[in-house]
């Protein structure tokens, strides 16, 4: 990996910005990479469109904005509709399966549907959806190591919720590994 670009997207209140902060911290402090983050969100705090962009590199990042994201995590329909077309052939498209209806086939993309909201609800609160999705992204993209992601959580999630956030991350990560295994044996995402 020389440079990799990731767009996290959804709506305000889903923890989209936090996803990028956690991933950037994990890469820069624990995976010996360089990372820059930019963010965009609507004037409303909750419910409006929200995205965070992360540029990751083995060397200094000279241009901090996305030019061609290789990974898109879309946790809302609006995010999917707006950003999926930016992905190049072979790009990774991760969608929240309960919140996003994929409107067409994407034969040139690696499309993954993750039941992040359902898994979060099973853990006790849908607020953990973002950590489930991060675990899944970590497993299928291989951009960052799971150990680095877990080390990055303290300080970015409330201390009293650290254990459950790690559990949510692990749930998503395990599901991602399972999907990778099924694909390798001839199944589909």
Domains, the chain, with CATH or none = 3-184 (3.40.920.10)
How far apart are the C-alpha atoms of 129 and 116, rounded to whole Å? Answer: 5
The structure's pTM equals: 0.92
pLDDT tens, N- to C-terminus, the chain (189 residues): 589 999 999 988 888 999 999 999 999 999 999 999 998 866 555 667 789 999 999 999 988 888 999 999 999 999 999 999 999 999 999 999 999 999 888 889 999 999 999 999 999 999 999 999 999 999 999 999 999 999 999 999 999 999 999 999 999 999 999 998 888 887 656
pLDDT of residue 105: 86
Q: Indicate the burial class of 181 (C-beta count within 10 angstroms; 0-12, 13-18, 19 or more).
A: exposed
Helix, strand and coil content of the chain, in percent to the nearest 5, comes to 45, 20, 35
């Amino acid at each position: 990996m020389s440079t990799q670009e990731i767009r996290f997207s959804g709506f305000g209140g889903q923890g989209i910005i936090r996803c990028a902060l956690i991933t950037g911290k994990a890469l820069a402090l624990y995976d010996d990479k360089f990372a820059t983050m930019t963010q965009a969100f609507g004037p409303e705090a909750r419910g409006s469109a929200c995205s965070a962009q992360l540029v990751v590199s083995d060397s200094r990042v000279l241009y901090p904005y996305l030019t061609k994201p290789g990974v898109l995590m879309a946790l809302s329909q609006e995010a999917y509709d707006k950003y999926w077309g930016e992905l190049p052939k072979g790009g990774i498209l991760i969608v929240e399966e309960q919140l996003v209806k994929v409107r067409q086939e994407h034969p040139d993309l690696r499309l993954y549907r993750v039941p992040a909201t359902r898994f979060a609800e099973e853990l006790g609160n849908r607020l953990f959806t973002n950590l489930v999705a991060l675990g899944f992204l970590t497993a299928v993209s291989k951009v960052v190591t799971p150990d680095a992601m877990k080390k990055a959580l303290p300080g970015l999630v409330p201390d009293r919720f650290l254990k459950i956030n790690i559990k949510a991350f692990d749930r998503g990560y395990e599901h991602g590994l399972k999907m990778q295994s099924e694909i390798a044996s001839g199944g589909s995402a």
